[in-house]
């Protein structure tokens, strides 16, 4: 038995990137140098915000604006949100953002010389269903250069933000695409020490999610921290 | 057992999901003691961090239909964030401990591969002395990196330093 209020398990060793990752230049002046204080998990850490579709409206199709199709390769992303105990996380909000097919964000800070697409914004929001499943439609984001090092290019990726059921479960991550040659060169992806944990950030192509004459399908699952098991009550 | 999905940086373009109204936790009509929380974020060179997402979460007052207890705010061109919320009260800690009023904070930014989490406490709260988290911090100067002070306008101010002198106490939960 697990409860919805119990403390979260400790973070699995090597499954998370180090804040001090010298190959990623922006970490130099932004990573704390003091060891973090390990605090006991109280109600502040074990509970968290709840979002409802009524108040935070879903936007599950990023591929079209006012009936006009965005440029690029249309994709469907589908997957499941579970916790470390392999229990589905139902009705949880997933925020999504990404570059357009040419590798340009609809953002004033993005000065990359690639075309904007008037029919693509790149922000979305979906909720998992009662069994933890989610799905949205978009276009495959393009790769783009960044100035981290000479000839640095970010692999194709989609950003995600999930809340789960407690402050300690919050995750912001990126999903990558299978077979991308830029992955082997990307300091952000490579910052995850454990190879298996790293590779779980790569979506799988899925012919069953692929929609004939319409869009390619990718499968991407999220795992949120699990709560400690509590002793089963004896009958 | 499965391992949780790895974190990746929020990057510089997260504003695509930004809703500026989220910085006001009273926007759905919650009533109580309204307070303003402000501060700036700076890096190890003292430069302002102008692309961060700051999130707050409160276990008091308890979240409800009209009080999300959660907010998100960008740091602006001056590295500053500003929330409107309700003043938290004391909450239960582990065992018989009582926690001083506090707000949990997460900081996401380009250059941060994981969220940095910390807490904001309020100056002159009698419960601060016995708070189980503040009490874990032996160095008084470091403890003060978590304690907001009231400025001339009445807002509660807490500056966050990611690295270096007066580095904020960050927490692993």
What is the per-residue pLDDT across B32-41, written as a single tens digit (0 to 9) for each?
Answer: 999 999 999 9
With respect to residue B9, please indicate whether it lies within any of the assigned structural domains. no
In a domain, B6, yes or no: no
Domain total for chain B?
1
Is there a contact between B75 and B162 (Cβ–Cβ < 8 Å)?
no
Chain A's closest residue to B10, CA to CA, is A172
What range does the domain containing B98 cover? 14-161
ipTM of the complex: 0.97
Phi, psi of B129 (to 5 degrees): -60, -35
Q: Shortest CA distance to B57 belongs to which of A30, A81, A165? A: A165
* Pick from B14, B68, B109: CB nearest A30: B109
Question: CB–CB of A98/A110 below 8 Å?
Answer: no
Q: Report yes or no: B83 and B106 within 8 Å, Cβ to Cβ.
A: no
The CATH number linked to B115 is 2.60.130.10
Q: Which residues of A touch B114 (CB under 8 A)?
A: 16-17, 19
pLDDT category of residue A230 using cuts at 50, 70 and 90: low
CA A70 to chain centre: 22
The dihedral through the CA atoms of B119, B56, A24, B49 has a sign that is negative
Alpha-carbon dihedral of residues B125, B128, B133, B135, nearest 10 degrees? 170
CB atoms < 10 A from the CB of A73, how many? 13
- Write out residues 97-116 of B within 8 Å (CB-CB) of A: 99, 102, 104, 106, 108-116
A82 neighbourhood in chain B, CB within 8 Å:
2
Q: State the smallest CA–CA distance between residue B129 and chain A in angstroms.
A: 17
Cα–Cα nearest to A149, from A186, A175, A183, A184: A186
Average pLDDT on B14-18 reads: 98
Which has more confidence, A5 or B110? B110
Q: Has residue B60 been placed in a domain?
A: yes
The partner residue sitting opposite B6, judged by closest CB among A16, A36, A83, is A16
pLDDT in tens, A54-112: 999 999 999 999 999 999 999 999 999 999 999 999 999 999 999 999 999 999 999 99
Pick from B70, B73, B68, B136: which is nearest to B100 by CA?
B136
Residue ranges of domains in chain A: 49-224
* CB B13 within 8 Å of CB A107: yes
pTM of the model: 0.96
Within a 10 A sphere around the Cβ of A86, how many other Cβ atoms? Answer: 11
Q: Are strands A74-83 and B116-122 parallel, antiparallel or unpaired?
A: unpaired
Report the C-alpha gap between B17 and B14 in whole angstroms.
6
B113, part of any domain: yes
Rounded CA-CA distance B168/B156 in Å is 16
Strands B147-150 and B156-157: antiparallel
Pairing of strands A37-38, B171-172: parallel
Is position B118 within any domain?
yes
**Which CATH code fits A49-224?**
2.60.130.10
Q: Which of A106, A121, A197 sits opposite B6 (nearest CB)?
A: A197
SS (H, E, C) A55-102: CCCCECECCEECCEECCCCEEEEEEEEEECCCCECCCCEEEEEECCCC
Predicted confidence (pLDDT) per residue in A211-229, tens digit = 999 999 999 999 999 999 7
């Amino acid at each position: 038995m697990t409860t919805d209020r119990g403390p979260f398990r400790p973070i699995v060793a090597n499954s998370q990137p180090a804040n001090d990752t010298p190959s990623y230049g922006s970490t130099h002046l932004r990573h704390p140098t003091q060891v973090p204080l390990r605090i006991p998990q109280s109600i502040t850490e074990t509970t968290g915000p709840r979002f409802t579709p009524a108040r935070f409206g879903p936007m599950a199709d990023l591929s079209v604006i006012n009936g006009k199709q965005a440029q690029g390769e249309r994709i469907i992303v589908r997957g499941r949100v579970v916790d470390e105990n392999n229990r589905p996380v139902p009705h949880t909000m997933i925020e999504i953002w990404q570059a357009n097919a040419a590798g340009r964000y609809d953002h004033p800070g993005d000065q990359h010389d690639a075309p904007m697409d008037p029919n693509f914004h790149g922000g979305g929001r979906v909720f998992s269903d009662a069994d933890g499943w989610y799905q949205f439609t978009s276009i495959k984001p393009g790769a783009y250069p960044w100035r981290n090092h000479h000839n640095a290019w970010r692999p194709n990726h989609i950003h995600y933000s999930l809340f789960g059921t407690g402050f300690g479960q919050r995750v912001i991550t990126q999903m990558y695409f299978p077979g991308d040659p830029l992955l082997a060169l990307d300091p952000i992806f490579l910052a995850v020490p454990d190879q298996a944990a790293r590779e779980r950030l790569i979506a799988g192509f899925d012919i069953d999610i692929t929609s004939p004459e319409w869009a390619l399908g990718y499968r991407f699952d999220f795992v949120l921290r699990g709560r400690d098991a509590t002793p089963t009550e004896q009958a | 057992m499965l391992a949780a999905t790895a974190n990746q940086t929020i990057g510089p373009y997260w504003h695509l999901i930004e809703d500026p109204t989220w910085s006001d936790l009273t926007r759905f009509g919650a009533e109580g003691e309204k307070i303003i929380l402000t501060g700036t974020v700076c890096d190890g060179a003292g430069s302002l961090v102008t692309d961060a997402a700051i999130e707050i979460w409160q276990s008091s007052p308890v979240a409800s239909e009209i009080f999300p207890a959660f907010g998100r705010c960008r740091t602006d061109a001056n590295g500053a964030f500003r929330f409107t919320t309700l003043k938290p009260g004391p909450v239960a800690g582990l065992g018989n401990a009582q926690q001083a009023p506090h707000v949990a904070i997460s900081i996401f930014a380009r250059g941060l591969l994981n969220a940095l989490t910390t807490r904001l406490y309020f100056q002159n709260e009698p419960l601060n002395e016995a708070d189980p988290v503040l009490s874990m911090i032996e160095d008084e100067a470091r403890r003060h990196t978590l304690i907001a002070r009231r400025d001339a306008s009445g807002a509660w101010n807490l500056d966050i330093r990611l690295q270096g002198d007066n580095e904020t106490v960050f927490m692993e939960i």
